[in-house]
Structure 1
Amino acid sequence: MDHGRPKPDLIIFDCDGVLVDSELLSCRCLSEVLAEFGLQLSVEQALELFLGRSTKAIEQYYRDLLGQALPDDFLARLRARVLETFAEALQPIPGAGAVLSKLQTPRCVASSSDLDRVSLSLDVTGLAPHFGDRLYTAQMVRHGKPAPDLFLHAAGRMQADPARTLVIEDSVSGVQAARAAGMMVWGFVGGAHYRARDGRAILSAAGADRVFAHMSDFWEA
């Protein structure tokens, strides 16, 4: 598992699209809730614009680029829709549990999603025991991905050297954030949102040190 670098002292997992197959579900929810407010955004556009980004990025996009403030209750309605959908339909990424069960290296989660969403995602899919309270989210830092803040915060809390930290990410913004933090990063393209997109090319171009599509290939040197 060295890929030209020393064995990491810490592995940081993104949650959505890496541990749980949630990206299509959450983008569908975003598209539907925006439509309720008369705003049109396809699932494909949502993936292109907001994959790996926080809800703050959604608000910023509409405010700064489109000059349109989202309604006051938008985020609350989106959050409720996502949590309801996840509770009913969310599935783990195949093989994620097996990788985590075998993993000896300290690990944590660093996600752009809110803490309650991450907690629900891991609970619903049975992955929560692998992480305990080692969950870090964009709410805890000033700047979300692609800034390095979240990954540096997670490494700091885990008392790990960024240079000896490995990040597993599925988004361009996440790969960029890991690179900016001085960490090694592997791109994962096994989520349903990459079935119609060339994720390998996308994440390689973003700077991933390695890209893989199946959790069974996690240990491949």
Structure 2
Amino acid sequence: MRTFEPELIIFDCDGVLVDSELLSCQSLADGLAVAGVALSLDEALKLFLGRSTKAVLEHYRSLGRELPESFLADLKQRVRDSFSASLQPIPGIAALLSTLAVPCCVASSSDLDRIKFSLQFTGLIDHFGDRLYSAEMVARGKPAPDLFLYAADRMGIPPARTLVVEDSVSGVMAAKAAGMTAWGFTGGSHYHGRDGHGILEAAGADRVFDCMRDFSGNL
């Protein structure tokens, strides 16, 4: 089989560049508890991994539950505090980004402010510059393909020549719906004790890997 040679690599941020999924999902569960909504960490991972805060509001609205107006601001502060205390880059990601010869960008369900904070805090921002794309920029978030199509269009690369690196089911589904090659990454701490390979393969990932030093061997 001929090796795929992408002209663009789109990285998700949370769980791919920074090890943030457990931190953000715990912050979500804690924020919902304050709003009177019970949600365990495992449930948060299953329901909202890779999804936007808009998706959280829409989920509870569909259940007839409107969250307080203060919820999003409270959640943003909880996430910021948690990241400031504990956020780490994914092991090996800085070395990988330093050696890539292919143009790359970030496309994340997080808002742009959070993306920038995460990458600045972990020292990764210089690898991307202003090539940061957020679900805020499109009508529909993941698993819809809108964000990845928008990012590829801004980068001037056809979807068929684009590789997406994702850690979530919704992200893999979005990449495949966009006509892109999708690689699942399971090296984040949120996959410890979970069958990440099975989860992302079932979502349609073309390949799944769990260590950034194995990335170039897949190209």
TM over 0.5, shorter chain: yes
Q: CA RMSD in A?
A: 0.9
Q: Is the 8 A contact 1:87 1:120 kept in 2?
A: no
Q: Residue 121 of structure 2 aligns with which residue? A: 124
1:88 alignment partner, one of 85, 89, 111: 85
Whole-Å separation in 2 of the counterparts to 1:180 and 1:4: 22
Q: Is 1:97 aligned to residue 60 of structure 2?
A: no
> In the alignment, what sits opposite 2:50?
52
TM-score by length of 2: 0.98
Task: Measure, in 1, the Cα distance between the counterparts of 2:97 and 2:84.
Answer: 22
Query: What number of residue pairs does the alignment pair up?
Result: 218
Distance 1:4 1:83, change over 3 A: farther
Residues in 1 aligned to 2:163 and 2:4: alpha-carbon distance in whole angstroms: 10
Unaligned runs of 5+ in 1: none
Q: Could you state the TM-score of these two structures normalised by the residue count of structure 1?
A: 0.97
Question: 2-side partners of 1:33 and 1:157: how far apart?
Answer: 35
What's the CA shift for 1:5? 4.9
| C-alpha distance in 2 between matches for 1:165 and 1:203 | 18
Regions of 4+ moved over 2 Å = 3-6
Q: Percent identity?
A: 64
- Structure 2: gaps of 5 or more residues: none
Task: Confirm whether residue 161 of structure 1 aligns to residue 158 of structure 2.
Answer: yes
1:176 and 2:169 matched: no
1:220/1:5 CA distance change after superposition, 3 Å: closer
Letter in 2 for 1:188: F
